[in-house]
Amino acid sequence: MKALPLFPITTVGSWPRSIELLRAQKLRRQGTLSEEEFERVADKAVLNVLRLQEEAGVDLVTDGEQRRDNFYSFVAAKLEGVRLMTLAEMLNLVEDTVSFERILRTLDVPSYSISNATCMGKVRRARPLAVEELRFVQKHTDKPVKVTLPGPYLLTRSMYLSSVSSKFYPTKEDLAEDVIQVLSDETRELIEQGAAFVQFDEPVLTELVFTQGQTRTFMCAALAARKDPAEELEFAVSLINRVVDAFRDSRVGIHICRGNWSKNEATLLRGSYHPLVNYLNKLDVRQLVLEYATERAGDILYFEDKELGLGVVNPRIERVESVEEIKCSIERALQLYPPEKLWLNPDCGFSSFSNRPVNSSDIALRKLRNLVVAAQSLRP
């Protein structure tokens, strides 16, 4: 792999889907489009996203998660024992229907357009989660490739729906054992295949500290986390470390944000990473990919011995951050981090949920271009 420039630029993963791809995803869900036909449309979409990133000057590219319905539910098609359910279907099965419905309403989540992968049997990897996606991208670019995956804590909590999962796993801790196996096997194969960066998404960690045990996420069917957020965070850290432990020599990172399903910032969580610092310092990962373009994330904090993937543009607002503004954010981070530890990215994906893009492809591209210009002006 060619040496990376100073302040390497990546995206957090997802890119808005074309109308053609959204239609293909819908037809595939309905069972009226063959797998081959879907892949043909998706291949074209990935190539387009790849060209856009290359044109903008991104240093590590992704496939824009184009084949995925959302950033974590796609595992349903790859795992045994897991079924895709819309949130509307889940409403009938969760322990506390009233609360779940209230969460969906308060958070501005459309229950029919978002799906969840739910555990309904013993979980095993029937197919790799992202190895084929990686190979496809590698065939079409010379740039190093980043692969995004849902983290073990998010997957465990989102898949465990007591009324249907407990027959196979008495508790979510039991399910976690198989999730760790799945993600460890996947990470090993991705690294063997040459993935330059494997990023695990764990957006639910912020929910644990900002809501004081009052669950406010629709991503977790197992509504009841432990009463004590500290215990739950220790559990999350232990799951992540068990997955990443064997890959300390590779670039593995964790992305943590405060939600990315709505353009209404008021419905998203608010608060600094400060209550998470001790837990994040314990993670055996090389990089923390964090959001800092939104003022909801507070001041930039220092994390020991870690690279910071600094969020410098907000994917949810239409205004394109100026080059000057982005340079100021980078300079602020340089007061805490040595330049070689600083990476640059948007705060989150531009379409974590395929039916809920938070921006257009055009605006996303303009944001990336400014990010690249700002980085280039600060490189030696």
Residues at the contact surface with Zn ion, assessed by CB under 5 A: 257, 260, 348
Least CB distance to Zn ion at residue 342 (A): 19
Q: How far apart are CA 338 and CA 310, in angstroms?
A: 13
Least CB distance to Zn ion at residue 203 (A): 5
Least CB distance to Zn ion at residue 253 (A): 12
Pick between residue 52 and residue 348 the one whose CB is nearest to Zn ion.
348
Three-class DSSP category at 112: coil
Pick between residue 257 and residue 293 the one whose CB is nearest to Zn ion.
257
Specify whether the CB–CB gap between 334 and 365 falls below 8 A: no
Antiparallel, parallel or unpaired: β 115-125 and 146-150: unpaired
- Distance set, CA 51 to CA 8, 58, 365 (Å): 18, 10, 11
Pick between residue 15 and residue 169 the one whose CB is nearest to Zn ion.
15
Least CB distance to Zn ion at residue 37 (A): 31
307 HSE (CA, 13 A, CB side): 24
Pick between residue 116 and residue 260 the one whose CB is nearest to Zn ion.
260
Q: How far apart are CA 371 and CA 16, in angstroms?
A: 18
Pick between residue 169 and residue 197 the one whose CB is nearest to Zn ion.
197
Q: What is the DSSP string of 67-109?
A: T-SBTTGGGGGTEEEEEEEEHHHHHTTSS-HHHHHHHHHHTT-
Specify whether the CB–CB gap between 15 and 350 falls below 8 A: yes
Pick between residue 222 and residue 348 the one whose CB is nearest to Zn ion.
348
Pick between residue 222 and residue 290 the one whose CB is nearest to Zn ion.
290
Place of tokens 């792999």: 1
Least CB distance to Zn ion at residue 348 (A): 3
Where does residue 305 fall: left (phi above 0), alpha (psi -120 to 50 degrees), or beta otherwise?
left
Buried b (16+ CB within 10 A) or exposed e, 182-195: bbbebbebbbebeb
Least CB distance to Zn ion at residue 83 (A): 25
- Burial status of residue 291 (CB atoms within 10 A of its CB: 0-12, 13-18, 19 or more): buried
Other C-beta atoms closer than 10 Å to the C-beta of 233 total: 22
Least CB distance to Zn ion at residue 347 (A): 7
Pick between residue 240 and residue 348 the one whose CB is nearest to Zn ion.
348
Residue 288, token pair as written in the block: 């923390």
Least CB distance to Zn ion at residue 143 (A): 22
